């Protein structure tokens, strides 16, 4: 198959490698001519994962029209804040039946719409839409370290198509019909990873991290259930799996942002200026508030992270407030 990958950041680059290893011809759409030229000439992305040599089956272009020409499937790997713009751009370029898998995590600012909802609103035909999520750091996937992910779609045929498209001897894929649950897991885990990072940055320990992860899973499950997802999904690869790796891995930009920046008085702007990377959890803690209010779900950890990042609250005082919450039954 020919697969077009929209987005040449770390995850788009790593997934292009996976797809090529699985046997597809990949057309990777980059924003910058220098990136496309480097990938085509020396098989390296100079901006992201530069130590990885990409397959010769990965070719890059700066033209979405060129990349999508005769494509059998489309993989969208752009930051969540640009998803609607991406969907709108694709509207006039792709046929109504072309399968699309969205690999971005988060909810839309203002509306709380999840990625598949955004694409359905812009492009229609939700049965050709899928979402890919799981405990998969690009830094490890691109070097073929064994990983697993789940492909969720309202259409079993679409989920199976992308399951098989991404499957290799090191990248194991599963299917799910719980699109809402998988997408909410992907948004929540980044928020909790920031909280875990802040706790380490403040001098707290592994016990604190484990408590935050576990209570974060409970928060994730409450919201997923209220929004029409399945709580059990939160125990799978997209939920517990991605939560653990994002909170504990040295590769996690969300944890690093909390630990090295927020806990030490630095800002989101500082992190983005230093790394040129998007901290999805910083946006998700705002957008998930919309869903919490809409469905009357209590989200204390999400609220705490939002107060620290966007309202300038003191991290230690917020931590104290969380610890002083009334005692209750765990479940």
Cα separation, 126 vs 132, in Å, equals 15
Residues 268 and 161 grouped into a single domain: no
Question: What radius of gyration, in Å, describes the C-alpha atoms of the chain?
Answer: 19
78 found inside a domain: yes
CB-neighbour burial class of residue 5 (10 A; exposed 0-12, middle 13-18, buried 19+): buried
86 found inside a domain: yes
Total of domains in the chain: 2
Q: Would you state the pLDDT for residue 250? A: 81
The pLDDT tens digits of the residues spanning 11-28 come to 999 999 999 999 999 999
Cα separation, 296 vs 130, in Å, equals 27
> Could you tell me the CATH number of the domain that includes residue 141?
3.40.50.720
Residue 95: other Cβ atoms inside 10 A = 9
The one-digit pLDDT tens for each residue of the chain (331 residues) are: 999 999 999 999 999 999 999 999 999 999 999 999 999 999 999 999 999 999 999 999 999 999 999 999 999 999 888 999 999 999 989 999 999 999 998 889 889 999 999 999 999 999 999 999 999 999 999 999 999 999 999 999 999 999 999 999 999 999 999 999 999 999 999 999 999 999 999 999 999 999 999 999 999 999 999 999 998 999 999 999 999 999 999 889 999 999 999 999 999 999 999 998 889 999 999 999 999 999 999 999 999 999 999 999 999 999 999 999 999 998 8
The pLDDT tens digits of the residues spanning 110-146 come to 899 999 999 999 999 999 999 999 999 999 999 999 9
Q: Which of 177, 197, 221 is the last residue of a domain?
A: 177
Cα separation, 213 vs 211, in Å, equals 5
Cα separation, 97 vs 125, in Å, equals 7
227 found inside a domain: yes
**110: three-class secondary structure by DSSP:** coil
Cα separation, 247 vs 197, in Å, equals 7
Q: Whole-model pTM?
A: 0.93
Residues 227 and 259 grouped into a single domain: yes
Among the listed residues 2, 105, 189, 266, the single catalytic one is: 189
C-alpha distance from residue 313 to each of 18, 245, 304 (Å): 41, 27, 9
> Could you tell me the CATH number of the domain that includes residue 271?
1.10.1040.10
Residues 113 and 28 grouped into a single domain: yes
Q: Which two tokens mark 186? A: 């992907």
Residues 120 and 185 grouped into a single domain: no
Residues 153 and 198 grouped into a single domain: no
Cα separation, 106 vs 184, in Å, equals 7
Residues 149 and 20 grouped into a single domain: yes
256 found inside a domain: yes
Host domain of residue 111: 2-177
DSSP state of 4: E
223 found inside a domain: yes
Q: Which of 177, 212, 234 is the last residue of a domain?
A: 177
Residues 159 and 185 grouped into a single domain: no
Q: Is 189 noted as a catalytic residue in this protein?
A: yes
């Amino acid at each position: 198959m020919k697969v077009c990958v929209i987005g040449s950041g770390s995850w788009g680059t790593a997934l292009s490698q996976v797809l090529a290893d699985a046997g597809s011809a990949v057309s990777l759409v980059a924003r910058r001519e220098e990136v496309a030229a480097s990938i085509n000439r020396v098989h390296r992305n100079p901006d992201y994962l530069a130590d990885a040599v990409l397959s010769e089956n990965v070719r890059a272009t700066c033209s979405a029209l060129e990349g999508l020409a005769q494509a059998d499937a489309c993989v969208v790997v752009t930051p969540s804040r640009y998803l609607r713009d991406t969907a709108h751009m694709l509207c006039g370029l792709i046929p109504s039946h072309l399968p699309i898998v969205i690999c971005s995590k988060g909810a839309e600012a203002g509306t709380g719409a999840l990625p598949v909802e955004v694409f359905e609103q812009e492009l229609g035909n939700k049965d050709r839409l899928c979402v890919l999520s799981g405990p998969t750091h690009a830094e490890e996937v691109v070097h073929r370290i064994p990983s697993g992910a789940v492909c969720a779609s309202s259409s079993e045929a679409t989920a199976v198509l992308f399951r098989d498209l991404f499957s290799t001897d090191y990248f194991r894929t599963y299917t799910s019909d719980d699109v809402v649950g998988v997408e909410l897991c992907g948004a929540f885990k980044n928020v909790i990873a920031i909280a875990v990072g802040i706790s380490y940055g403040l001098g707290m320990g592994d016990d604190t991290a484990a408590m935050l992860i576990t209570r974060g899973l409970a928060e994730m499950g409450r919201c997923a259930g209220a929004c029409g997802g399945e709580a059990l999904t939160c125990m799978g690869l997209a939920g517990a799996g991605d939560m653990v790796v994002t909170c504990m891995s040295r590769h996690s930009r969300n944890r690093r942002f909390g630990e090295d920046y927020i806990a030490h008085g630095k800002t989101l702007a500082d992190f983005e200026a230093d790394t040129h990377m998007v901290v999805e959890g910083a946006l998700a803690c705002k957008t998930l508030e919309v869903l919490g209010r809409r469905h009357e779900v209590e989200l204390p950890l999400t609220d705490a992270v939002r107060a620290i990042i966007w309202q300038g609250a003191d991290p230690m005082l917020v931590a104290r407030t969380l610890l002083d919450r009334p005692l209750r039954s765990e479940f």
